[in-house]
Each structure stands twice: as C-alpha cells, then as structure tokens.
Chains A and B, each alone.
Chain A
C-alpha cells in the first residue's frame, strides 16, 4: 500500500513538472529576435538549445543548467521560420523537444519609445516657441562674440577696398553644417551688397555651388543691389580636398581678401587655410562643429564659433522669429539634457537604473 502511494506521489510530482519548450516572436521589435521558454523537471542536469538552420546545420545558442528559463535569440533573419531543438540531460536519460517560430517585423519598435517621447517633447517645444515668436513675443539670445566680428570684418574690407572670402566648408549639402553655413552666407552677402564689397565664395561641390549662388543672389536682391551681384565670384574649384585648399590658398595670396570666413565642416585642411589667411593679415572668423578642427581655428583665427554657436548664428544674425523660436526650442532640449543627466546620475548613485535603461533602449 505504502509503495503504491510512493509511486503515485512520484508520478504526480513528475506531472507537475510537465516538460515544455516554446518559441515565440519577440513582440514590437524589428523582427530579428525569437523568445525561447523552457520548463523542465528540477532533476534536469543540463540544457542545450540548438537552432537548426535551413541547410540542417546545428548552431548551439545556449548551454545552461537551469531547468526553467527564458532566452532571446537575436540577430536572426526577418520574416523567416526558425527551428529550435532543446536537449535536456537527466541523471540517466535525455529528452529532446522541438519547436518553431517565425520572426515578424512590427511597425513600432517598443524599445525606441524613449526616443519618440524625447523627440516629440523637443519638437513640441520648438513649435511652441516658434508660434510664440510669431505672435510677437521677444526672446533673449545672449551675445555670440564671434558674430559681432562680422560687421567689423565687412567694415575693414570696405575701407581697404578688398574682397571678403567666404569658405562654406568642405562637405556637401548633406552635412547640416554646410546648411548652417549657407544661412550665415546669406546674411554676409546682404551686408556686403549694402557696403558694395566684393564677396568671393569658392565651392567644393556642385550642389553647394548651386545653393551658394542662389543664396547670394537672393541676398543681393533683398539688399536692393541685384546689379552688384557677380555670379563669377561664386565658383567651383575642385572636389579634391587638398586641391580645393591649395586653390583657396592661392586666392588668399593673390586676391588678398581683407576678411576671411571659414564656416561649415572642415577636416585636416583647417590649419592650412587658417594659417595662410593669418599670414596675409586678414581678419578671420571661423565656425565649425568638427571638434577636432576647432583647436586650429581657435589658435589662428580672430574669432571662432564653437560647435553649436555655428547653428545659433543664423538666428542671432537674422532675428527672424521663426529661427529665434527654433533656437529657443533647442535651448529647451539642452536644458532637458542637463536635467536628465543630473537626475540619471542621482538615480545611479542609489542603484536605480530605470531612467538610464529607458534612454539606452532608445539609443540602441
């Protein structure tokens, strides 16, 4: 009777640990992951999970001693059926279970939610400030020293009767710095048209050349001096980085511009440009967001726009409500970043990683 009861209890306990192995597509993701779940008897000694590829090759994705658990197999082919095999080893025998699941790409990646929330907050702030600026609200923008030099530089060029040289960087229009540079060029061209000072703009790429021509022409029309616009002063040199620089050096030496502006994206040529300009005695203003080139401009130019100042410059110069509102929105974003960092650091000190994980997921 007792032996029968013991056998019955063993049977029941085995039943409680019904062995299972399931695979399911990871929800709300880019369709490259499968979630594997297994639940085996506590007497399990070892668990091996294998992925069986289409060519019947076996790839071991996990080796563990845990009788129960979850594993995410990632970096898989999207919209594809994947086969898995679980081999469990007990004291005396082994168990093999198989399952399949198909990866599916969803339209919304849940882990990027943090990205969306932050982006929406910043966008709402920018739209709000632009609307406020349009309604006539005045915003304070602190002085950007490098830009105050612009008037001085144009004045000096006018007094000396020499041209102004404007270099819009060495990147194409797909670089946001080039776009910011063209906005500054617009303001500078308007001023040079007012003072009737020649403006030389050598370009490296055809798209930049077209955009620069358009910008300068519009500025001259805006200044009421379309007759003073000289299309031949905005020209293409070469696509080659150092060929372009050699050409600009030649212009600096022979045309002797009184003011040089280097605004945009620059690389290894920054020091060559700035040093040659310095040797000619021109007043020089540079601006770039290339952190590695900023030191060269800082040491060899009279004024330097550091990083973000390049992007703020157009709003500062134009006082255009839309641009000012946009700049205020960006400032809101910076404030948000500072607060996030401070709060994140405090939480990390107390061992809470919720905020960091939320943002880390967004940036993954």
Chain B
C-alpha cells in the first residue's frame, strides 16, 4: 500500500515540475515560488552536506580522535578560519592569504596536469602515419585529424596578424572547430531530450498513471 507521504511527495514533485515548465510561457508566480524554494532548499542542503560529509569526517572527527596524529589538519583549518575573517572589517585582510594560496596552488597543479593531458597526450595522438590506415577512408580520417589539430592550434595563435597567407590555416581551423561544435550541439541536444522524456515519464506514469 502506497503511504500518504509517498503520494504527497509525488504531488509536490509534479507541482514543482509543472511550475518550472510554466516558465516556457512566461515568468509567473508559480515559477517564482519554485525558483525561490529550489534556491533556498539547495543552499541549505549543501550547507548541511558540507558540515556533515566534509568538515566532520575530514576535520573535526580526526582532530577529536587523534589530535597529535592529525595536527597537520590545523593548517587548512586555520586557513578556513582566516576566510571567515572577512565577516569582520578590521580583520578582512587576513582572508587574502588563503585566497592567494588557493589560486597559486591551483595554477601550479593545473600547469602540470594540462601540460600532460591537453598537450603531450594530444601531440602524441596526432603523431601518426596518415597512410598507415587500412583503407582510403582511414587515410582521409587521419589526414583530417592532423590538419584539424594543427590548424585548430594555429587559430589560437595570437602573436601574428591573421591576414594574407597566415589567414588560411586560421580559417581552416575555425571551420574544424565549428563543425565539431555542430556535432557536439546535436549530440547534447539529444541527451537533453532524454532528460525531458524522463520528466514526462514521471508526470504521465508516476503521477497521472496514464502510461505504464
């Protein structure tokens, strides 16, 4: 037997789904209500989630159970407290230090990560013998891969005025980019349609029981 809370939950979910869909017509009080509840609820949810799933197990519990063994955690805890100093005008300047550490560390780590994944691996994957493919289609595919990569990188070369002969690889590069954007667009739209189907299924099956 379906409990009252289950039915109530389905009706609430259906109400909010339709309220959000009503935005397709125009902004209205139902959409506003749903939007405000969504924003407020999610903010509160994440606050609780961060406290109980991140701060408690990673900081407080470890410090309480074995303080000396986890003393290193006092550094991020201290940096976190320095961030909170923003709330007090006279100590606001302290928050700049954790921000600087965060940005500096991110830049350093990202440099190595992107150098490896976005440059070295891409370069290696493009260094192929285009004529080693078993058939003509494969050869054309390999050539397109090489030309597309080289001209695509050249499009982002900012130090040279793109005119005359230097305009040609750049133009080819942007064509390759636009073709890939078109393909991605179609692919992603299909994925979004499946999300819409999921919502419609909920409305028609779980709520209205029109389909099975």
Contacts and interface: CB of A to CB of B under 8 A. Distances in A.
- Say whether A associates with B: yes
A246 interface: yes
A78 interface: no
Contacts of A176: 106-107, 110, 114
Interface residues of B, number: 63
A335 B158 CA distance: 11
Contacts of A111: none
A51 B203 CA distance: 59
B90 to A, nearest CB: 16
Contacts, number: 173
Contact of A345 (B45, B129, B161): B129
A287 to B, nearest CB: 13
B153 interface: yes
Interface stretch (A36-44, A52-60, A95-103, A353-361): A353-361
B165 to A, nearest CB: 15
Interface string B65-90: 00000000000000000010010000
Interface in A305-356: 306-309, 312, 316, 327-328, 331, 333-335, 337-338, 340-342, 344-345, 347-349, 351, 355-356
Nearest to B149: A341
Contact of A331 (B114, B129, B159): B159
B188 A118 contact: no
A239 B132 CA distance: 50
B177 A306 contact: yes
Question: Chain B interface secondary structure, helix, strand, loop or mixed?
Answer: helix
Contact of B157 (A144, A206, A299, A334): A334
B96 interface: yes
Contact of B123 (A174, A206, A349, A359): A359
B203 to A, nearest CB: 18
A224 interface: no
A328 B159 contact: yes
A209 B146 CA distance: 42
Given A253-B27, A345-B128, A291 B114 contact: no
Contacts of A345: 126-130, 146
Interface stretch (A3-11, A81-89, A134-142, A162-170): A134-142
The bracket for how many chain A residues form the interface is 35 or more
A211 interface: yes
A93 B162 CA distance: 75
A292 interface: yes
A175 B149 contact: no
Nearest to A238: B43
B208 to A, nearest CB: 24
A211 B34 CA distance: 30
Nearest to A294: B181
Nearest to B166: A142
B204 interface: no
B160 interface: yes
16 contacts: A118-B120, A119-B112, A140-B159, A140-B160, A173-B99, A173-B102, A240-B42, A243-B38, A249-B35, A296-B185, A299-B185, A316-B158, A331-B159, A341-B123, A345-B129, A355-B127
